[in-house]
């Protein structure tokens, strides 16, 4: 596929400087290391390299992409379905049905994206043949090491005898590349200190005693208003505590942490992407490797112990050369070596209004890719309902057995009622709120 067509599918006008350098520097059948900050577009960069190495449609696994989190696997899947059109792409990760994954492997995908633990399990059980894999991608490799996946990755690499190209990406510089990667004489593209990749962020502090922290957070949320914000906490309990506060104020939001079911985590990110909610409360699970565009503000309700964590959290905003605001909530006695004392303090009015609801609500439709239903089918279905106009429909995401569509909040109930018992492509579907 031509580059222009790929960019059009992704809604991008051109490659950025880093992506251009990657494509220009890459040599087939050579190892490759890409160092670039979170949010700089590494997924598209290595996807283009994969495309350059894929053979014609064959029934064998050609590419394996190892990632530290299931959310990152799903993000890469979305990009590769648009870049590598015509090639089968499959995800495998903990929390997903192993039976479904094994069935997907029966008709061998060209590209498998997965977390190390689940991929190791599939290799041990003989669910796919790794001997045909010629390209291995270790994405967000530094995060995978941080999470302790080196033993699983070592096992996997030792069971892939025919690798010709290893592509490693990282958001931080590593002193030594572990020998188990078997990377030799790699081509290196380093954009970690590139001036265009430095986020343009404004940092402000909010000082409040411990008994006033939640009140200060609420005031800050109200002041930021309808802009998109991520609130970071160090612990799940804090996430749930803040969520309870916002529930009591009827402020629409979602939570995201490792204690949630995978389906709930995916749905929280989906609703944040499609503007069904503007507030996401999370742990560091959302600090890296997730495609969360257009985030206006980062709030550190609790600060990480290390500066790296602070930098990665802030990388969720000011992505791709945009601007963003970062707020740190501190107790009067708190001090962190990576937070300058002279940063300005945010001021609040005596009174404040609660933020307005997000403009969209997310509905689910009980049909997806496996039912041969696509975005065009869903748009046509909705536009045939009385009173629904094109501008009332937002972002649509189609999964295997279900689709999610953002619609104007004021019309959500109307659409549910009017669509009851209707059919898409001759199939009766259920539609409801998420």
Give the chain's mean pLDDT.
90
Q: Measure the CA–CA gap between 393 and 360, rounded to whole angstroms.
A: 9
246/174 same-domain check? no
142/288 same-domain check? no
Structure confidence by residue, pLDDT tens digits, 321-371 = 457 899 999 999 888 988 988 899 998 877 788 999 999 999 999 999 889
Mean per-residue pLDDT, 389-400: 93
Q: E-assigned strands of 187-228?
A: 187-190, 200-207
284, 315, 330 - which closes a domain? 330
Give how far Cα 321 sits from Cα of 8, 193, 297, Å: 20, 14, 15
- On whether residue 293 sits in a domain, the answer given is yes
**63 close to 200: Cβ distance less than 8 angstroms:** no
76/126 same-domain check? yes
62/78 same-domain check? yes
Best CA proximity match to 401, nearest among 422, 420, 429, 426: 429
In the chain, the number of structural domains is 3
Structure confidence by residue, pLDDT tens digits, 4-49 = 888 888 888 889 999 999 999 999 889 999 998 877 889 999 999 9
pLDDT value for 318: 52
304/204 same-domain check? yes
**142 close to 192: Cβ distance less than 8 angstroms:** no
Which residues, at least 6 apart from 390, have a Cβ–Cβ distance to it below 8 Å? 379, 383
- How sure is the predictor about 60, in pLDDT bands with cuts at 50, 70 and 90? very high
pLDDT value for 286: 76
Percentages (nearest 5) of helix, strand, coil residues in the chain: 40, 20, 40
- On whether residue 286 sits in a domain, the answer given is yes
Share of the chain above pLDDT 90, in %: 68
Best CA proximity match to 310, nearest among 323, 297, 298: 298
- On whether residue 341 sits in a domain, the answer given is no
79/224 same-domain check? no
User: Among 86-90, 125-129, 293-297, 301-305, which stretch is predicted with the lowest mean pLDDT?
Assistant: 293-297
Structure confidence by residue, pLDDT tens digits, 127-157 = 999 999 999 999 999 989 988 999 999 999 9
- On whether residue 346 sits in a domain, the answer given is no
- How sure is the predictor about 96, in pLDDT bands with cuts at 50, 70 and 90? confident
- How sure is the predictor about 274, in pLDDT bands with cuts at 50, 70 and 90? very high
CATH classification at residue 54: 3.40.50.300
- On whether residue 338 sits in a domain, the answer given is no
311, 330, 349 - which closes a domain? 330
- On whether residue 352 sits in a domain, the answer given is no
Mean per-residue pLDDT, 160-170: 96
Q: Phi/psi at 168 (nearest 5 deg)?
A: -115, 130
Q: Which residues pair with 192 in a beta bridge?
A: none
Q: Measure the CA–CA gap between 332 and 150, rounded to whole angstroms.
A: 41
316/277 same-domain check? yes
Q: Write out the residue range of the structural domain in which residue 274 sits.
A: 199-330
- On whether residue 276 sits in a domain, the answer given is yes
65/177 same-domain check? yes
199 pLDDT above the threshold of 70: no
163/241 same-domain check? no
pLDDT value for 157: 97
8/143 same-domain check? yes
Q: Residue 119 has which token pair? A: 């991929």
Mean per-residue pLDDT, 87-106: 92
12/79 same-domain check? yes
pLDDT value for 293: 66
- How sure is the predictor about 197, in pLDDT bands with cuts at 50, 70 and 90? low
1 pLDDT above the threshold of 90: no
CATH classification at residue 418: 3.30.70.330
330, 350, 382 - which closes a domain? 330
> Angle at the Cα of 269 (from 264 to 274), degrees rounded to 5?
125
Q: E-assigned strands of 115-253?
A: 135-138, 165-170, 187-190, 200-207, 229-232
- On whether residue 12 sits in a domain, the answer given is yes
Mean per-residue pLDDT, 274-300: 84
Mean per-residue pLDDT, 234-252: 95
Which residues, at least 6 apart from 404, have a Cβ–Cβ distance to it below 8 Å? 267, 270, 274, 362, 363, 364, 365, 396, 397, 434
Cβ neighbours, 10 Å, residue 223? 18
225/124 same-domain check? no
């Amino acid at each position: 596929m031509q580059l222009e067509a790929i960019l059009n599918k992704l809604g991008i006008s051109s490659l950025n400087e880093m992506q251009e350098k990657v494509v220009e520097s890459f040599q087939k059948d050579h190892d490759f290391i890409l160092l670039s900050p979170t949010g700089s577009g590494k997924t598209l960069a290595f996807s283009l390299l994969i495309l350059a190495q894929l053979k014609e449609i064959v029934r064998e696994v050609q590419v394996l992409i190892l990632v530290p989190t299931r959310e990152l696997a799903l993000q890469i899947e979305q990009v590769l379905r648009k870049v590598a059109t015509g090639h089968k792409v499959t995800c495998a990760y903990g929390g997903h049905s192993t039976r479904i994954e094994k069935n997907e492997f029966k008709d061998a995908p060209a590209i498998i994206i997965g977390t190390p633990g689940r991929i190791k399990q599939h290799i041990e059980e003989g669910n796919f043949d790794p001997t045909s894999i010629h390209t291995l991608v270790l994405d967000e490799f530094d995060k995978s090491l941080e999470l302790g996946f080196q033993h699983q990755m070592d096992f996997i690499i030792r069971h892939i005898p025919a690798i010709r190209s290893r592509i490693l990406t990282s958001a931080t510089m590593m002193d030594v590349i572990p020998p188990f990667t078997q990377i030799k004489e790699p081509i290196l593209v380093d954009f970690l200190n590139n001036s265009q990749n430095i986020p343009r962020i404004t940092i402000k502090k909010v000082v409040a005693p411990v008994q006033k922290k939640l009140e200060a957070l609420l005031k800050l949320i109200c002041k930021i208003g309808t802009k998109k914000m991520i609130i970071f906490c160090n612990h799940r309990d804090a996430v749930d505590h803040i969520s309870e506060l916002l529930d009591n104020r009827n402020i629409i939001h979602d939570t995201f942490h490792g204690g949630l079911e995978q389906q709930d985590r995916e749905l929280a990110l989906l609703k944040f992407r499609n503007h069904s909610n503007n507030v996401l409360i999370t742990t560091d699970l959302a600090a890296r490797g997730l495609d969360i565009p257009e985030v206006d503000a980062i709030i550190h309700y609790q600060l990480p112990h290390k500066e790296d964590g602070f930098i990665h959290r802030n990388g969720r905003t000011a992505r791709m050369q945009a601007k963003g605001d970062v707020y740190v909530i501190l107790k009067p006695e708190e001090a962190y070596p990576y937070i300058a004392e002279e940063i300005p303090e945010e001021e609040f009015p005596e009174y404040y209004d609660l933020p307005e609801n997000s403009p969209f609500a997310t509905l689910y439709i009980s049909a997806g890719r496996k039912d041969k239903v696509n975005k065009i089918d869903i748009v046509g279905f909705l536009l045939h309902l009385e009173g629904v106009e094109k501008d009332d429909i937002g972002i649509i995401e189609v999964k295997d057995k279900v689709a999610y569509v953002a619609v104007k909040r004021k019309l959500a109930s109307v659409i549910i009622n009017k669509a009851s018992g209707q059919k898409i492509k001759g199939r009766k579907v259920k539609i409801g709120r998420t």
